[in-house]
Amino acid sequence: MKKIFFLSVFISTITIQTINAQTNCQLKSGVACYGSGETVFSKVDAPQSFYRGTRGLTINVTYTGITPASQAAFEYSKQIWESILNGTVPIKINVYFLALGSGGLLGITFPNGRKNFTGALVNDVWYPTSLANQLAGTELNAGESDFDMYLNSSVNWYFGTDGNCPAGKYDFASVALHEMCHGFGLVGLSKIDTAGLGSFGLLTLDDFAPAFTSFPWPELDTLPGIFDHYLMTSNGALLSQGAFQNPSDTLATIFTSNQIYWSGIYGFQFNNNLEPKIYAPSTFALGSSMVHLDEATYPNGNANELMTPFATAHSSNHNPGPIAIAILKDIGWNVDPNYNDVNELLIADSKFQIYPNPVMDEFRVSGFEFQVVNTISISDLTGRILLEKTISASENKIDISQFNSGIYFAEFKSESGISTLKIVKN
């Protein structure tokens, strides 16, 4: 079996924004992402919700400096999110496609925010406005974007959306997908200051200079983000809910413990009843630590790889993965009800292969070398199972001549786990 590496850097930074001293408060956080020079091919397909064609959310993008190719790729990633999340208040994103130097920077995202609004599920916690508006059922930030995203036009990008990112290029659609996930709320407000104190809600604009946003910068009042609200130690102690002094040496020690987990129930369930692990390396990196999934736990080929801090050229990942989606669900997002189980584990390193694909009447399955018992079940876009059978190296031909043309999903179960491949029937 081919071993794939995945190495590159998404460095993220968090920044915050203005308070309107009365009831409306705003938060801004930023996520800057960098690429490494590594180049290894891997590919993860978009989720089933995207192929079903349903769109539960409207995302309106105001582009500046965009090219036709980059806009088409961004629109593709936008539609993936529109297929996963549901909401009644349209999302507003400013996308700036600008030359940001050749230092490896891929992009930066700055979410806007609010706290203590009517409909907030938790008080004294910052929400990204993209979510706050859905919970409030109204637009809380009229005239302001929900997040600003800067994407570096100097990068050697691949703008195709087929996932076949060539060597040496970065997959624009994957980076856009990753950045939007930060904008929707996979972002926190932790930091360690120059005195070594760990804190929530003490970030200032100076922490991110020379970064800037289209909306003002708030006093964070030592309050955590809704993402921070769910972080816990390996002992189950919640980091931002009073168990630890803020700021403190203790928090700094915890932030660099490599033992931070997600406490939300959906994260647990979507991760096969394990607490998802958060990236918290021994050296704190502002905007990278505490705002991504753990790289070592979710390496290349893992269904949850997109929201880890490291990515690479030549690779594409068009599915945020079940843990990232579960995190958004835990913080309050209404998620496509079909995006909730192992069917979404469209794992890039599936041991099984289908050929030919697209299929006319029948296809064969390969990849049995290390398997004892294997089953295949084929479902349509609604999740209805149309065919189920045991397969083996000698019984590997599947007849789907009676199926209508369209997209189907083949789920393979073996002793090494479950994986899913997309089938196109002509």
Rounded to 10°, the helix 172-184/322-330 angle is 20
Per DSSP, 319 falls in state -
Amino acid at 306: L
**Interface stretch with Zn ion, choices 23-31, 128-136, 206-214, 233-241 (CB under 5 A):** 23-31
Nearest distance from residue 33's CB to Zn ion, in Å? 5
Among residues 8, 12, 15, 316, the one that binds Zn ion under rule CB under 5 A? 12
Are 56 and 176 in contact by the 8 Å Cβ rule? The answer is no
Q: How many Cβ atoms from other residues are within 10 Å of residue 21's Cβ?
A: 9
Q: Nearer Cβ to Zn ion, position 205 or 324? A: 324
Q: Nearer Cβ to Zn ion, position 180 or 192? A: 180
Q: Nearer Cβ to Zn ion, position 31 or 286? A: 31
- Cα→Cα distances 287→192, 328, 422, Å: 11, 18, 35
Nearest distance from residue 291's CB to Zn ion, in Å? 7
Percent of residues in the chain assigned helix, strand, coil, to nearest 5: 20, 30, 55
**Interface stretch with Zn ion, choices 24-32, 104-112, 266-274, 382-390 (CB under 5 A):** 24-32
Q: How many residues line the site for Zn ion (CB under 5 A)?
A: 3
Instruction: Report the DSSP beta bridge partners of residue 151.
Output: 97, 107
Nearest distance from residue 100's CB to Zn ion, in Å? 16
**Interface stretch with Zn ion, choices 8-16, 48-56, 120-128, 413-421 (CB under 5 A):** 8-16
| Residues 331-360, interacting with Zn ion (CB under 5 A) | none
Interaction between residue 289 and Zn ion (CB under 5 A): no
Q: Nearer Cβ to Zn ion, position 10 or 409? A: 10
Query: How do 147-152 and 157-158 pair as beta strands?
Result: unpaired
Nearest distance from residue 12's CB to Zn ion, in Å? 4
**Interface stretch with Zn ion, choices 3-11, 113-121, 146-154, 394-402 (CB under 5 A):** 3-11
Nearest-5° Cα angle at 202, 199 to 208: 110
Q: What is the x/- site pattern for Zn ion, positions 30-49, by CB under 5 A?
A: -x------------------
Residues 6+ apart with CB under 8 A from 194: none
Interaction between residue 317 and Zn ion (CB under 5 A): no
Q: Nearer Cβ to Zn ion, position 157 or 352? A: 157
Q: Which residues in 184-330 belong to E strands, given as ranges? A: 190-192, 198-200, 231-233, 260-262, 277-278, 313-317
Q: Nearer Cβ to Zn ion, position 247 or 267? A: 267
Q: Nearer Cβ to Zn ion, position 10 or 215? A: 10
Nearest distance from residue 133's CB to Zn ion, in Å? 22
Nearest distance from residue 311's CB to Zn ion, in Å? 9
Q: How large is the C-alpha radius of gyration of the chain?
A: 21
| Residues 88-127, interacting with Zn ion (CB under 5 A) | none
Distance CA 122, CA 116 (A): 8
In the numeric block, which tokens belong to residue 162?
Answer: 């087929």
Residues 99/100/106/108 CA torsion (nearest 10 deg): -120
Nearest distance from residue 11's CB to Zn ion, in Å? 8
Distance CA 120, CA 24 (A): 12
Nearest distance from residue 344's CB to Zn ion, in Å? 20
Q: Nearer Cβ to Zn ion, position 324 or 398? A: 324
Interaction between residue 10 and Zn ion (CB under 5 A): yes
Per DSSP, 131 falls in state H
Distance CA 125, CA 217 (A): 16
**Interface stretch with Zn ion, choices 10-18, 43-51, 108-116, 408-416 (CB under 5 A):** 10-18
Nearest distance from residue 10's CB to Zn ion, in Å? 4
Q: How many Cβ atoms from other residues are within 10 Å of residue 38's Cβ?
A: 16
Contact residues: Zn ion, CB under 5 A:
10, 12, 31
